[in-house]
Structure 1
Amino acid sequence: MFTGWTMFEKIWLITFTGITVYLFFAWQDSLIGLISSISGMLCVVLVAKGKVSNYYFGMVQTSTYAYIAYTYSLYGESMLNALFYLPIQFIGIYLWRKNRTANSVSGEDVSVKKLTKSGWLYVALIAVAASLLYAEILAAIGGQQVRIDSVAVVLSIIAQILMLKRYAEQWVLWIVVNALTITLWIIVLVETGGNDWSMLVMWTAFLFNSIYGYLNWLKLAKKQGEKKQEVA
């Protein structure tokens, strides 16, 4: 699971884990917040590396984060994680193991695909329509920050589907999702006086990782394309 890590990946993980642990003691953060944050960071960095093992940490992160989001009335975030992300982890393990590359490390590197222009058009149309509809649903059940929550949830679902199908462009959506979710948590924590600041650290780490993940997956797609040409 931890073979082939670059110095950047090691520094990234150690730095954000250290900040999270510090906040846990300094600001009396919740234990479940600490667990969710650390498991989430392990999950996303393993996704960026194309490792199937990301889904095991994803199971822990999605279940704990769903509960935390629920306590802050972020119903969109809570439902997304409990009803979609958590069960999708098991599907992800199956699909990624089924699509390993021939030269995988420990059998965990997957083949990467790229989205077409028509694919991007479908993604944009679905995202706009679904975001508008879901915002109305969240408003009806008394959710907080429904517009930001709605867009973040819809883009997250689309990005997760692209991730299951191994498209590099998933990372573009994750960058937007992470930026929106950081904004969402800043607003909620300030308004409620909550102490789960590790959630903010976690999403900031996710944002940095999504940028790195996009660059790394483009690199993987290029390398895999060159190897296919060599074989042909």
Structure 2
Amino acid sequence: MVKGWTMFEKIWITVFTAINIYLFFAFDDSLLGLISSMTGMLCVVLVAKGKISNFYFGIVQAGTYAYISYTYGLYGESMLNALFYFPLQFVGLYLWNKNKTKNSVSGEDVVAKKLTAKGWISVVVIAVVASVAYAQLLHSIGGQQVRLDSVAVVLSVIAQILMLRRYAEQWILWILVNILSIALWVIALTQTGGNDWTMMVMWTAFLFNSVYGYINWMKISKKQAVN
């Protein structure tokens, strides 16, 4: 699976895998948390590479993470993964398979696009309005950290849609989502005394990967524009 990976990608996955395994044994972490973190890391690095195979790992990660989030009272995160991310993995498989590059050696590279100024305005307006509305819903059902949870969920939904449509700017939103999610889990784990610290490793790995993904997808879109 690592054929054609860059040195950065190999180091990235090796370092965060080692940290995950250490935390699993050192802090008596849950096996489900380890599985969720590992499959999540494989998923996002494959997205950054524009590989369709990311969706297979995404199916496992979305299902396990939805359950873990529910146990910590992060209902926004749980609903996002169970009701949105999980079914959309199958949609992504279909859409990306329809938009492969003609010169792809592996048959898994897809055509990357870029947002227009009008597209950005729509993204910002929808994000603000939806975040306020969803925060009210989470508060009404007794959710924890509803403001952070709401913004993270709404930006995640928008970023996922941009990902399915193959827009490079998805990664800017993923960077924001990852920062918010790290803050969310620090608060949740500290307040509840939970031991799923692999979730923190996963989101930190996601943050590194989202920066790399943005750089890589911008390169891909420029190269495809020339060709």
Query: TM-score range with shorter-chain normalisation?
Result: over 0.9
Question: Which residue matches 1:163?
Answer: 163
The answer to whether the 8 Å contact 2:33/2:68 transfers is yes
CA-CA distance at 1:4 after TM superposition: 1.1
Alignment partners' CA distance in 2, 1:196 and 1:138: 23
* SS of 1:122 mapped into structure 2: helix
* C-alpha distance in 1 between matches for 2:80 and 2:209: 21
What is aligned with 1:129? 129
Percentage of pairs with the same residue: 72
Match of 2:50 in 1: 50
Partner residue in 2 for 1:117: 117
Q: Give SS of 1:84's match.
A: helix
Name the CA distance, whole Å, in 1 between partners of 2:221 and 2:194: 42
CA deviation string 1:190-231 (max 9, x = no partner) = 01100000000000000000000000000000110111xxxx
C-alpha distance in 1 between matches for 2:105 and 2:167: 20
Give yes or no for contact 2:58–2:86 (8 Å, CA) kept in 1. Answer: yes
Which residue type is aligned with residue 182 of structure 2?
I
In the TM superposition, residue 2 of structure 1 has moved relative to its aligned partner by 3.0
**Alignment partner, residue 22 of structure 1:** 22
Partner of 1:89: 89
Q: Give 1:105 shift.
A: 2.8
In structure 1, the gaps of 5 or more residues are 228-232
Q: Which runs of 4+ in 1 moved over 3 A?
A: none
Q: How big is each residue's C-alpha offset from its partner over 1:84-142, in whole Å with a ceiling of 9 and x where there is no partner?
A: 00000000000001000011131100000000000000000000000000000000000
1: CA distance between counterparts of 2:62 and 2:18? 21
TM-score, normalization by structure 2? 0.99
Cα distance in structure 1, aligned partners of 2:172 and 2:150 = 18
For residue 60 of structure 1, what is the aligned residue in structure 2?
60
* Code of the aligned partner of 2:164: L
Moved more, 216-225 or 102-111: 102-111
In structure 2, runs of 5+ residues without a counterpart are none
Number of aligned residue pairs? 227
Q: Which amino acid aligns with 1:143?
A: G
Which residue does the alignment assign to 1:152? 152
